[in-house]
Amino acid sequence: MTTQHVRIRYTKQGRIRFVSHRDVARLFERAMRRLHLPVAFTEGFSPRPKLSFGLALTVAHESEAEYLDVELTQAIDLESLPIELTAALPDGFVVEAAIAIEPGCASLQQAIVSCEWSIEIFGAAEPEICAAIERVMAAPELPMERIRKGKPTVADVRPALLHLEVVGPTSDGVELAAHLATESVSLRPAELVDLLGTDLIEGKVRRRKQWMIVDGARCEPVSPPGSSTRHALVRAS
């Protein structure tokens, strides 16, 4: 059987940010049925469409860079797919790109190594937040207690903090730009806010980019590495 493996990039903004990761999957399945896309299904007693999403986005967080892989039973024209799929989805989703990918390539869950975030925080003035950033960026270790398999453990999350800076004031708080790793040692935006200060409150959070490594080059998941996407991976200190 001839199949086509497709990777889709979409945004999730506005009121739709309150929809859970599982419900997002259901919405995409429904939209693909409306378009009569030839989606492949798993075998067995409960066949499921072969959709594979990237890293889950926390409810209430927005994103400019979400990804989805889907396997089709036959090739289709991908040029018109973003417009058609956007029209079939609820307001707040915009499908920006769809490309064919090679069968057997690493899943999005495995391939993504880091994410860039815009994080708004409340509870302190900009000078205090700048001082907190200097403190955590200068720390050789950042131990954080987590629950693993029902038991408390302590992990050093400093390797996951790749970059952090103040962008500027918002109407009610301060916006930060953060680059956080997602591999063996990861750090979530809410955990980063806690590291900066227990009295700080997380405001609007938006995922700006997701990155993977291909042949030693950093690229976003719908663009192959090349002259326009090569970046040095430098750990901020």
pLDDT truncated to tens, each residue of the chain (237 aa)? 578 999 999 999 999 999 999 999 999 999 999 999 999 999 888 899 999 999 999 999 999 999 999 999 999 999 999 999 999 999 999 999 999 999 988 899 999 999 999 999 999 999 999 999 999 999 999 999 888 888 889 999 999 999 999 999 999 899 999 999 998 889 999 999 999 998 999 999 999 999 998 888 889 999 754 433 333 333 322
**Maximum distance among all Cα pairs of the chain, rounded to whole angstroms:** 61
Structure confidence at residue 232 (pLDDT): 31
Gap between the Cα atoms of 149 and 156, Å rounded: 18
In the chain, how many H helices and how many E strands? 5, 11
DSSP H or E stretch at residue 109: helix 108-111
- Please name which of 70, 62, 194 lies closest in space to residue 115, comparing C-alpha atoms: 62
